[in-house]
Amino acid sequence: MSRKGTGSKGKGDRADILAGLQAANEELRAKLTDIQIELQQEKSKVGPRPPPHFSWPPESAQSPWDCLPRQLGRGGPLP
């Protein structure tokens, strides 16, 4: 009968793989932190975004169709 768990990798190999993964994880976390700091610095240079202002229909329009091109809004031929 064959025994289970007799693969080619020993416990030492698994520990090495785990250590390598942990080191890679720490390196990626450090890079992510640096990128987040850089993003915050760029955002502070630009300043806060003004809130969006939406008005529908536009104040200048007397009807909702006035904001469309004449061909679309008035039933005329399409270009």
How confident is the model over 30-40, as pLDDT tens digits? 999 999 999 99
pLDDT at 51: 72
pLDDT at 60 over 90: no
**51 to 3, 41, 54, 76: CA distances (angstroms):** 67, 21, 10, 37
**Residue 76 neighbours by CB under 8 Å, 6+ apart:** 70
Give the predicted TM-score (pTM) of the model.
0.47
Contact between 65 and 74 under an 8 Å Cβ cutoff? The reply is yes
**73 to 54, 61, 66, 68, 76: CA distances (angstroms):** 21, 12, 7, 5, 8
What percent of the chain shows pLDDT beyond 90? 37
pLDDT at 19 over 70: yes
